[in-house]
Amino acid sequence: MIYNLKSIDAKDLKSDMLFLYGDDVAERALPLSRKEMELVRERREEKKDFMMAFDRLPYHLYLLSFDSERPAPECQEKLRRQMTEVLRKAENDRVKELAVTGEGILPEEMVAAVEGLTLADYSFDRYRNKEAYHLGTLTIDGRYLKAEELESAQRLWNRIYWCREWVNLPVQDLNATAFADELASIAADFDNVSCTVMDKKKIESLRMGGLLAVNRGSVDEPRFVVLEYKGRNSNAPICLVGKGIMYDTGGLNIKPEDYMQEMKSDMAGAATMASVLFAAADNRLPVHLVALLPLTDNRPGFNAYAADDILTMYDGTTVEVINTDAEGRLILADAIAYAAKNYNPSLIIDAATLTGAAVRAISTFGIAAMQQNAENPLTLMKLVGNQVYERLVEFPMWSEYDDLIKSEMADLRNCGNTPQAGTITAGKFLAHFAGKVPFIHLDIAGVAYFTKPQHYYRVGASGYGMRLLYAFLQMQDMFDK
């Protein structure tokens, strides 16, 4: 989509237009007849959230009414969600160029509307023979948005686009080696991002027992990718660790029935963390970031690792394998321990499609979050999540849960010894490898990939969590001053 900024007079505009109507002050600028205006007023008395379409042949006027008196985060999220209806109507009308204006609206409301249109307009098209509908050009009223603000937002939206593309790609076209090569290629285009790609031999020399074990059943080699971005503030870095299981069969504990469907999305954590780092570099945020991405698929072939195996991890911890389908925490553990030892980070954050238990607990409405020694950062992240409407639910990390991952044969088990608290025991397992470093675990299993449309997300990858993490990183400079 091409974005333009210019001053728009709704009454003189001769093109397809979306008009945002959040307050009665907007009436003075609406290009409506007296009878049309009466109809709009009647509708707003019944319900403030609606869309009406008026034919101005050969053009169309879409009037989007919303309740500007709601709390700001709710109002902005409602606008994002309403864009799905606008886009559906624009597709029916075969609109390719759309102007967006309003009267008496806030810049944040304009950004939310454009963001909603952008997210809703995405679809995964590269394997389709029939061309899909997309908006071609969006012209935004420059009274509500500055050019630098739009450009910054565009760069973030572009990274969300590529995060979704990567997660939607099947493993036949994006395995561990291909993804590592693509990340290295993108990093090479930056003057402020370095990329190190470690091959299997290097991973063996590091004794990353979790990553190597999970990879044993695959014909494809693993990779461990480290991206580093140093902004103006080059203090101790924030380490972003992302689960990169390129495809998950469950290994020898193979997934039953249709649970293997959509398992190309099990690398969403890695895609998210790489994309967040690239977005920060694009907009030169004053932060120091290191993204650590362990990449492999989990297959039941060759000399696949098995339940009862005992692994020695990067930091020397021994782990008894209880279930080979609890593989994500094994590769993350190596990466977290590597981050803690080699980067002296101020904070480690991991993102992972880790447990079905998280989905059962909170459905597809948010992220299950846990923290160790990071109460203040997680409090800030929850506040930011409420603002951008990518929300967190904090799960406890009480010491009693430690007993659930103790092993009689090794230091730890890779699964809890009870079916209960599966999300928490996974977080507890990972926290062990962070040691004393402040640590936040984000289980994005319920939101990374949708099997049914969810508001402005179509079926497939969402990029959910990127706006949250980016906004969180934007706040860091304030706290460093």
Report how far residue 53's alpha carbon sits from residue 248's, in angstroms, rounded to the nearest whole number. Answer: 46
- Could you identify the residue written with the tokens 């990067």? 314
Report how far residue 163's alpha carbon sits from residue 434's, in angstroms, rounded to the nearest whole number. Answer: 26
Report how far residue 18's alpha carbon sits from residue 120's, in angstroms, rounded to the nearest whole number. Answer: 15
Closest by Cα among 374, 377, 327 to 352: 327
Annotated active-site residue 329? The verdict is yes
Q: What is the torsional sign of CA 24, 28, 34, 40?
A: negative
DSSP 3-state of 19: strand
Query: 329, 382, 391, 428: which one is catalytic?
Result: 329
Residue 416 has what DSSP assignment? -
β-pairing verdict for 347-352 and 412-413 = unpaired
Query: 43, 143, 230, 255: which one is catalytic?
Result: 255
The answer to whether residues 28 and 35 touch, using CB atoms and an 8 Å cutoff, is: no
Query: CB 419: neighbour CB atoms within 10 A?
Result: 8
Start-to-end C-alpha separation, the chain: 37
Closest by Cα among 354, 344, 246, 244 to 290: 344
The answer to whether residues 339 and 350 touch, using CB atoms and an 8 Å cutoff, is: no
Query: CB 451: neighbour CB atoms within 10 A?
Result: 11
Report how far residue 163's alpha carbon sits from residue 172's, in angstroms, rounded to the nearest whole number. Answer: 17
**Structure-block tokens of residue 217:** 């059943």
Closest by Cα among 477, 466, 465, 471 to 276: 466
Report how far residue 388's alpha carbon sits from residue 251's, in angstroms, rounded to the nearest whole number. Answer: 37
Specify the DSSP element, H or E, that contains 139: strand 137-141
Residue 87 backbone phi and psi in degrees, to 5: -65, -40
The answer to whether residues 292 and 241 touch, using CB atoms and an 8 Å cutoff, is: yes
The single-letter code of the amino acid at 378 is L
Q: What is the torsional sign of CA 419, 422, 424, 428?
A: positive
Residues in the chain: 481
- Three-state DSSP string of 194-224: EEEEECHHHHHHCCCHHHHHHHCCCCCCCEE
Active site amino acids: 255, 329
